[in-house]
Amino acid sequence: MNAVSNCTIVVGNMDAVKIEGGGARRAAAAKSITDAGIAVVGHVGLTPQSISSLGGFRPQGRNANAAVRVVQEAQALEKAGCIALIVECVPPAVGAAVTAAVGIPTIGIGAGPHTSGQVLVYHDLLGMMQHPHYKQVTPKFCKQYAQVLSHHAFVYSRWHELSSYRLLSQVGEVIQSALESFREEVSNRKFPGICPSSLHRYLRRLSLCLLKTLPSVVQERPSLHIKWTREK
């Protein structure tokens, strides 16, 4: 009931709420919220709100058992009524496996190229955080499309020379260009790049862990654009 009441207060003009994690309690909360008529987006893999218990920002699903758990959590969230899933910081094969195992859209962030869509953290994409400590914890999968912070410094240095409207417009143009570049690269499958050649081998390992039909399901989904390679 707390989950439902909190969502009722928060939802406002939003289209959905997001819940991290796919364990039994999270799935139950997702079902209660969807039963109340509020759309829910699930989140599996790395769950940033739980990094203390995960030991930090570490990739998830890196072995077969852990990968199966991510897939099972995704299926549980779909069964609970989630309209979409965020899949974060897992091997590309796990991102492909989750996408094949559910019938709702998957949005990947560091989950390889075979999810339904892609997302990056706004600040990472635009280069808005330049502190050395922040650089140390920025995930390797992040790609920077602009250096907005540097442009901001340039803007402020010329604040008295040009009108504020013109200077802020320049910053807006940089942001707009970066976002358009990101969209184009995702649409053209340039970001996040092709999947490692070990995908088929990894999926076969997953099939040995209770997902025996998964490789065939993935192969039957040409929309995943998986690049298969035969084992030598």
Question: Mind telling me the catalytic residues?
Answer: 88
Give the burial string for 88-105 (b: 16+ CB within 10 Å, else e).
bbbbbbbbbbbbbbbebe
Helices within 62-147 (DSSP H only): 64-79, 92-101, 122-126, 132-137
Tell me which long-range contacts 14-20 makes (C-beta under 8 A, separation of at least 24).
15/39, 16/40, 16/41, 16/83, 16/84, 17/41, 18/42, 18/43, 18/86, 19/43, 19/77, 19/82, 20/47, 20/48, 20/49, 20/50
Residue position matching structure tokens 């602009």: 146
